[in-house]
Amino acid sequence: MKIAVAGGTGVVGAVTVTRLKMAGHEPVVLSRGTGTDLVSGTGLAEKLDGVDAIIDVTSTATTSARAATDFFTTTTGNLLSAGAAAGVRHHLLLSIVGIDVTPFGYYIGKVAQEQLVSGSSVPWTIVRAPQFHEFAEQLVSRGSFAGMTVVPGMLSAPMSAREVAAVLVDLAEGPPQGYAAEIGGPQPEKMTSMVRRLLRHQGSRRLVLPLRVPGKAGAAMRGGALVPKDPGVVGFQTFDAWLEEKS
């Protein structure tokens, strides 16, 4: 199958592209770095020519609700309209467990993105995943200053991006199914502990500064709203095994 991966150079996008190739598919990578800006949508029609399915895994580093909503509705809106025009038969969106009960800026944008996809004329699947193991690295690279890394208090059931990619490829190969069962990692983890273990593993002396996110969003994040209740697929690799594999 010819399958476009929007965000195909990102953390989960890159491993999804690798897995698609291993399975004999023809991936089409859509990202600014490979010449396609999904905010403007320029050149998208040509890229989607002959594409059977789109895997939508773009992202932005913002935590602002307005910026996240603008980004996700614009990029996914452009993908859906160009996909409809090109006869794409399946739009597969990767979303996040618990976003509908956790009114945090980025998650508010993801809810708007889900609404756009689920109201689209292009047949769709939405699968909600937990934080990746790699999310700990993303926090360190995006949230560090003056020898410290700011880490929100949150309970997760993290899963490696590689295992999430395997689920995405399986879903893209199958028919659109609306909301697929949520997926989750093998065990719950506190994000502060994950980041501390990552830093220790890297030999870093950086300090972890726990951030108590205020309000309903913070309570949900700390209280387990981001942990799937009844996951359809449970990842095999623990965070510690993933760390071990990195050395």
Ligand X SMILES: NC(=O)c1ccc[n+]([C@@H]2O[C@H](COP(=O)([O-])OP(=O)(O)OC[C@H]3O[C@@H](n4cnc5c(N)ncnc54)[C@H](OP(=O)(O)O)[C@@H]3O)[C@@H](O)[C@H]2O)c1
CB of 175 to ligand X, least distance (A): 22
Closer to ligand X by Cβ: residue 135 or 239? 135
Closer to ligand X by Cβ: residue 205 or 236? 236
Residues of the shown chain interacting with ligand X in the complex, contacts defined by CB under 6 A: 7-13, 30-33, 36-39, 57-60, 75, 94, 96, 110, 129, 131-132, 135, 138
Q: Which residues contact 14 (CB under 8 A, 6 or more apart)?
A: 8
CB of 34 to ligand X, least distance (A): 7
Closer to ligand X by Cβ: residue 147 or 235? 235
How far is residue 99 from each of residues 66, 102, 227, 240, measured CA to CA in Å? 15, 5, 11, 26
Closer to ligand X by Cβ: residue 58 or 120? 58
Closest-approach residue to ligand X (CB): 10
Quickly list DSSP for 27-79: EEEESGGGT--TTT-TTHHHHTTT--EEEE--------HHHHHHHHHHHHHHH
CB of 22 to ligand X, least distance (A): 19
Q: Is 127 exposed, middle or buried (0-12, 13-18, 19+ CB in 10 A)?
A: buried
SS3 132: strand
Closer to ligand X by Cβ: residue 67 or 84? 67
CB of 32 to ligand X, least distance (A): 3
Alpha-carbon gap, residue 217 to 90, rounded angstroms? 32
Closer to ligand X by Cβ: residue 9 or 177? 9
Q: Which regions of 118-160 does DSSP assign to beta strands (E)?
A: 124-129, 144-145, 148-152, 155-156
CB of 72 to ligand X, least distance (A): 8
CB of 164 to ligand X, least distance (A): 7
- Cα–Cα–Cα angle for 219, 222, 225, rounded to 5 degrees: 85
Alpha-carbon gap, residue 154 to 210, rounded angstroms? 10
Closer to ligand X by Cβ: residue 75 or 120? 75
Beta bridge partners of 144: 149
CB of 29 to ligand X, least distance (A): 8
- What Rg value do the Cα atoms of the chain yield, rounded? 18
Alpha-carbon gap, residue 143 to 14, rounded angstroms? 22
